[in-house]
Structure 1
Amino acid sequence: MATELSFVEYVLETVRLGSRMTYRKMFGEYALYLDEKVVAFACDNSLFIKPSQAVGRLAPDLPQGPPYPGTKDYPIADELLDDPDLLRRLIEETAALMPLPKPKKKPARTAVAG
Protein backbone atom coordinates (compact mmCIF):
# COMPACT_ATOMS: atom_id res chain seq x y z
CA MET A 1 0.00 0.00 0.00
CA ALA A 2 1.46 3.36 -1.00
CA THR A 3 1.73 6.07 1.62
CA GLU A 4 -0.71 8.95 1.24
CA LEU A 5 0.78 12.42 0.93
CA SER A 6 -1.65 13.58 3.63
CA PHE A 7 0.12 11.25 6.12
CA VAL A 8 3.51 12.77 5.28
CA GLU A 9 2.08 16.28 5.62
CA TYR A 10 0.58 15.30 8.99
CA VAL A 11 3.99 14.06 10.21
CA LEU A 12 5.69 17.28 9.13
CA GLU A 13 2.94 19.37 10.70
CA THR A 14 3.22 17.40 13.96
CA VAL A 15 7.00 17.67 14.20
CA ARG A 16 6.95 21.44 13.55
CA LEU A 17 10.46 21.82 12.13
CA GLY A 18 9.38 24.09 9.30
CA SER A 19 11.46 24.22 6.14
CA ARG A 20 14.25 22.21 7.77
CA MET A 21 12.15 19.06 7.28
CA THR A 22 11.46 17.93 3.73
CA TYR A 23 10.43 14.79 1.90
CA ARG A 24 10.98 13.03 -1.41
CA LYS A 25 8.70 10.47 -2.97
CA MET A 26 10.26 7.15 -3.85
CA PHE A 27 8.47 4.05 -5.13
CA GLY A 28 5.12 5.12 -3.68
CA GLU A 29 6.65 5.81 -0.27
CA TYR A 30 8.58 8.79 1.13
CA ALA A 31 11.98 9.53 2.56
CA LEU A 32 11.93 12.27 5.23
CA TYR A 33 14.90 14.60 5.60
CA LEU A 34 16.03 16.99 8.28
CA ASP A 35 18.67 19.44 7.11
CA GLU A 36 19.15 17.26 4.01
CA LYS A 37 19.88 14.11 6.05
CA VAL A 38 17.55 11.11 5.76
CA VAL A 39 16.05 10.59 9.23
CA ALA A 40 12.90 8.56 8.56
CA PHE A 41 10.70 6.87 6.01
CA ALA A 42 6.93 7.02 5.60
CA CYS A 43 5.85 3.59 4.36
CA ASP A 44 2.33 2.14 4.39
CA ASN A 45 1.20 5.25 6.29
CA SER A 46 3.57 4.46 9.17
CA LEU A 47 6.62 6.39 10.36
CA PHE A 48 9.91 4.47 10.41
CA ILE A 49 12.83 6.22 12.12
CA LYS A 50 16.40 5.47 11.03
CA PRO A 51 17.98 3.23 13.66
CA SER A 52 20.44 5.15 15.84
CA GLN A 53 21.64 5.61 19.39
CA ALA A 54 19.02 8.36 19.71
CA VAL A 55 16.25 5.76 19.48
CA GLY A 56 17.94 3.68 22.17
CA ARG A 57 18.10 6.68 24.50
CA LEU A 58 14.76 8.36 23.81
CA ALA A 59 12.38 5.64 22.66
CA PRO A 60 13.88 2.18 23.26
CA ASP A 61 10.50 0.44 23.41
CA LEU A 62 9.29 1.36 19.93
CA PRO A 63 8.08 -1.64 17.94
CA GLN A 64 10.31 -2.72 15.05
CA GLY A 65 9.49 -3.71 11.51
CA PRO A 66 10.75 -3.47 7.93
CA PRO A 67 9.67 -0.29 6.11
CA TYR A 68 9.48 -2.28 2.88
CA PRO A 69 10.11 -5.90 1.90
CA GLY A 70 13.70 -7.07 2.03
CA THR A 71 15.01 -4.45 4.45
CA LYS A 72 16.16 -4.67 8.04
CA ASP A 73 13.83 -3.66 10.85
CA TYR A 74 13.45 0.00 11.74
CA PRO A 75 11.82 1.53 14.82
CA ILE A 76 8.16 2.35 14.06
CA ALA A 77 7.34 5.72 15.63
CA ASP A 78 3.59 5.95 14.96
CA GLU A 79 2.82 6.19 18.69
CA LEU A 80 5.11 9.23 18.97
CA LEU A 81 2.77 11.21 16.71
CA ASP A 82 0.82 11.74 19.95
CA ASP A 83 3.95 13.17 21.62
CA PRO A 84 5.22 15.82 19.18
CA ASP A 85 7.95 17.12 21.51
CA LEU A 86 9.52 13.69 21.92
CA LEU A 87 9.18 12.92 18.21
CA ARG A 88 10.80 16.25 17.27
CA ARG A 89 13.67 15.60 19.70
CA LEU A 90 14.12 12.07 18.33
CA ILE A 91 14.24 13.33 14.75
CA GLU A 92 16.67 16.13 15.62
CA GLU A 93 18.98 13.80 17.55
CA THR A 94 18.80 11.19 14.80
CA ALA A 95 19.81 13.82 12.24
CA ALA A 96 22.74 14.89 14.41
CA LEU A 97 24.04 11.31 14.27
CA MET A 98 23.61 10.84 10.52
CA PRO A 99 26.44 11.61 8.08
CA LEU A 100 26.18 14.55 5.74
CA PRO A 101 24.86 13.59 2.32
CA LYS A 102 27.51 12.86 -0.28
CA PRO A 103 27.98 15.74 -2.71
CA LYS A 104 26.40 15.09 -6.06
CA LYS A 105 28.91 14.62 -8.85
CA LYS A 106 28.70 17.08 -11.69
CA PRO A 107 28.46 15.44 -15.09
CA ALA A 108 31.74 15.44 -16.98
CA ARG A 109 31.91 17.86 -19.85
CA THR A 110 32.97 16.62 -23.19
CA ALA A 111 35.07 18.70 -25.50
CA VAL A 112 33.48 19.58 -28.78
CA ALA A 113 35.84 19.09 -31.70
CA GLY A 114 35.82 21.97 -34.01
Structure 2
Amino acid sequence: MGSDVDFVAYVCEQAGLGGALSYRKMFGEYALYLDERVVALVCDNMLFLKPTTAGRTLLDTVQEAPPYPGAKPHWRMDDVLDDGERLGRLLIATAAALPLPGPRAPKAAKSRAPRKR
Protein backbone atom coordinates (compact mmCIF):
# COMPACT_ATOMS: atom_id res chain seq x y z
CA MET A 1 0.00 0.00 0.00
CA GLY A 2 1.54 3.30 -1.04
CA SER A 3 1.29 6.47 0.98
CA ASP A 4 -1.30 9.11 0.23
CA VAL A 5 0.09 12.47 -0.93
CA ASP A 6 -2.51 14.21 1.25
CA PHE A 7 -0.95 12.60 4.32
CA VAL A 8 2.52 13.73 3.22
CA ALA A 9 1.23 17.28 2.70
CA TYR A 10 -0.34 17.15 6.19
CA VAL A 11 2.99 16.13 7.75
CA CYS A 12 4.78 18.98 5.95
CA GLU A 13 2.13 21.48 7.00
CA GLN A 14 2.25 20.29 10.62
CA ALA A 15 6.02 20.80 10.76
CA GLY A 16 5.56 24.49 9.95
CA LEU A 17 8.82 24.79 8.02
CA GLY A 18 7.29 26.20 4.85
CA GLY A 19 9.16 25.70 1.62
CA ALA A 20 12.30 24.52 3.43
CA LEU A 21 10.68 21.09 3.86
CA SER A 22 9.92 19.28 0.63
CA TYR A 23 9.08 15.77 -0.45
CA ARG A 24 9.73 13.50 -3.39
CA LYS A 25 7.96 10.31 -4.38
CA MET A 26 10.21 7.28 -4.36
CA PHE A 27 9.05 3.77 -5.18
CA GLY A 28 5.44 4.51 -4.24
CA GLU A 29 6.43 6.11 -0.93
CA TYR A 30 7.90 9.52 -0.04
CA ALA A 31 11.15 10.98 1.26
CA LEU A 32 11.11 14.27 3.19
CA TYR A 33 13.96 16.68 2.49
CA LEU A 34 15.22 19.55 4.64
CA ASP A 35 18.29 21.50 3.59
CA GLU A 36 18.92 18.97 0.78
CA ARG A 37 19.07 16.11 3.31
CA VAL A 38 16.65 13.19 3.57
CA VAL A 39 15.42 13.54 7.15
CA ALA A 40 12.41 11.22 7.14
CA LEU A 41 10.39 8.75 5.11
CA VAL A 42 6.64 8.39 4.79
CA CYS A 43 5.70 4.76 4.19
CA ASP A 44 2.19 3.31 4.46
CA ASN A 45 1.01 6.70 5.77
CA MET A 46 3.41 6.56 8.72
CA LEU A 47 6.25 8.97 9.42
CA PHE A 48 9.71 7.48 10.02
CA LEU A 49 12.47 9.83 11.21
CA LYS A 50 16.13 9.06 10.55
CA PRO A 51 17.79 8.28 13.89
CA THR A 52 20.39 10.81 15.08
CA THR A 53 21.88 11.69 18.45
CA ALA A 54 20.50 15.22 18.11
CA GLY A 55 17.00 13.94 17.46
CA ARG A 56 17.23 11.47 20.34
CA THR A 57 17.79 14.31 22.82
CA LEU A 58 14.38 15.75 21.85
CA LEU A 59 12.44 12.52 22.38
CA ASP A 60 11.34 10.84 25.60
CA THR A 61 10.96 7.39 24.11
CA VAL A 62 11.43 6.04 20.63
CA GLN A 63 9.74 3.25 18.78
CA GLU A 64 12.03 1.76 16.15
CA ALA A 65 10.74 0.04 13.06
CA PRO A 66 11.92 -0.38 9.47
CA PRO A 67 9.92 1.85 7.11
CA TYR A 68 9.90 -0.94 4.51
CA PRO A 69 11.14 -4.55 4.42
CA GLY A 70 14.92 -4.73 4.52
CA ALA A 71 15.41 -1.10 5.62
CA LYS A 72 17.44 0.02 8.62
CA PRO A 73 15.26 0.89 11.63
CA HIS A 74 13.95 4.44 11.80
CA TRP A 75 11.92 6.11 14.54
CA ARG A 76 8.14 6.00 14.12
CA MET A 77 6.74 9.43 14.83
CA ASP A 78 3.07 8.61 15.45
CA ASP A 79 3.03 10.49 18.77
CA VAL A 80 4.63 13.65 17.37
CA LEU A 81 2.38 14.27 14.36
CA ASP A 82 -0.12 16.35 16.29
CA ASP A 83 2.60 18.51 17.89
CA GLY A 84 3.78 20.59 14.94
CA GLU A 85 6.30 22.64 16.91
CA ARG A 86 8.01 19.54 18.26
CA LEU A 87 7.93 17.88 14.84
CA GLY A 88 9.59 20.92 13.28
CA ARG A 89 12.32 20.95 15.94
CA LEU A 90 12.97 17.23 15.38
CA LEU A 91 13.27 17.66 11.62
CA ILE A 92 15.63 20.65 12.02
CA ALA A 93 17.82 18.81 14.55
CA THR A 94 17.94 15.74 12.31
CA ALA A 95 18.92 17.74 9.23
CA ALA A 96 21.67 19.54 11.17
CA ALA A 97 23.11 16.19 12.30
CA LEU A 98 23.20 14.65 8.82
CA PRO A 99 25.92 15.32 6.22
CA LEU A 100 25.10 17.06 2.97
CA PRO A 101 24.74 14.63 0.08
CA GLY A 102 27.81 14.24 -2.11
CA PRO A 103 27.92 15.64 -5.61
CA ARG A 104 26.01 13.68 -8.20
CA ALA A 105 27.91 12.01 -10.96
CA PRO A 106 27.18 13.52 -14.37
CA LYS A 107 24.84 11.52 -16.54
CA ALA A 108 26.57 9.56 -19.25
CA ALA A 109 25.99 10.88 -22.74
CA LYS A 110 23.76 8.69 -24.86
CA SER A 111 25.45 7.03 -27.75
CA ARG A 112 24.25 8.16 -31.16
CA ALA A 113 25.41 5.03 -32.95
CA PRO A 114 23.08 3.99 -35.78
CA ARG A 115 20.75 1.11 -35.11
CA LYS A 116 21.27 -2.19 -36.85
CA ARG A 117 18.26 -3.38 -38.78
Q: Deviations over 1:1-45 (max 9, x none)?
A: 110000100000100111111111011100100011000000010
AA aligned opposite 1:37: R
Report how far residue 94 of structure 1 moved. 0.3
- 1:105 and 2:114 matched: no
AA aligned opposite 2:28: G
Alignment root-mean-square deviation, CA: 1.6
Cα separation, 2, equivalents of 1:31 and 1:63: 19
Question: 5+ unaligned residues in a row in structure 1: which ranges?
Answer: none
- 1:92 and 2:81 matched: no
AA aligned opposite 1:106: P
Report how far residue 64 of structure 1 moved. 1.2
Match of 1:81 in 2: 81
Q: Deviations over 1:69-89 (max 9, x none)?
A: 011211101210111111100
- 1:17 and 2:21 matched: no
- Give secondary structure in 2 for the equivalent of 1:11: helix
Cα separation, 2, equivalents of 1:69 and 1:10: 25
Match of 2:43 in 1: 43
Structure 1 ranges of 4+ moved more than 6 A? none
Higher helix share: 1
Mark the structure with the bigger radius of gyration.
2
Report how far residue 102 of structure 1 moved. 1.2
| Range moving further from structure 2, 100-109 or 25-34 | 100-109
Count of residue correspondences = 111
- Taking structure 1 as the reference length, the TM-score comes to 0.90
Question: 5+ unaligned residues in a row in structure 2: which ranges?
Answer: 111-117
Cα separation, 2, equivalents of 1:26 and 1:62: 25
- Give secondary structure in 1 for the equivalent of 2:40: strand
